[in-house]
Amino acid sequence: MTLSKGKKAGLIIALAVVLLVIDQVTKILVKTNMQLGESIPVLGNWFQILFIENEGMAFGMSFGGDIGKYILTSFRLILSVLLFVYVRHLLKKDAPVGVLLGLTAIMTGAVGNLIDCMFYGLIFEPSSYTHVASAVPFGDGYGKFFLGKVVDMLYFPIINTHWPDWVPFKGGESLIFFRPIFNIADSCVTVGALYLLIFKWKYFQTHEFSK
């Protein structure tokens, strides 16, 4: 069944709103109920809610210094705007709904982490290993505009063991797979990008990059 542009626009808006609400609700719940480093096992030892914060890069990575943080947040803002413009462009071209939803997931993920960077420093106390943060009056938080930290919490140490003794240089050391700690916004970016790469690359090859 072929969807009209109006229905496609409705799906785009619905997906963006749902993903953004889930992302922000999970982050706020973790931020205001857990101490830094606190872990809650969900499915045994291989899936945990583990609260950390980072300077804005995906999967718990950091980008040093305030200047770097301003650059990183500005880049995320520009990327979000460009993705929004591109999604509108493809909607006007009546692109397949899968292409539009994949790009919307990526855009929403970028916006989700952008909200943390722009506003969390203004509305929350600092979290620590001994203190659970609370919301504060706007502007009385732990950081300046654009300098908030991104809340991460999804941790999947699927393999948590030690390297065999016979492995050179690594024998006996801890072996954890998968180490990155991330959030819903990171997942939106990753899943959206993989979906487009695996299932929709022919559309871009034929309609966008062949000119």
- Whether 116 is catalytic: no
- Whether 186 is catalytic: yes
Distance CA 186, CA 181 (A): 10
Per the residue annotation, which of 23, 66, 116, 186 is the catalytic one?
Answer: 186
The residues carrying an active-site annotation are 152, 186
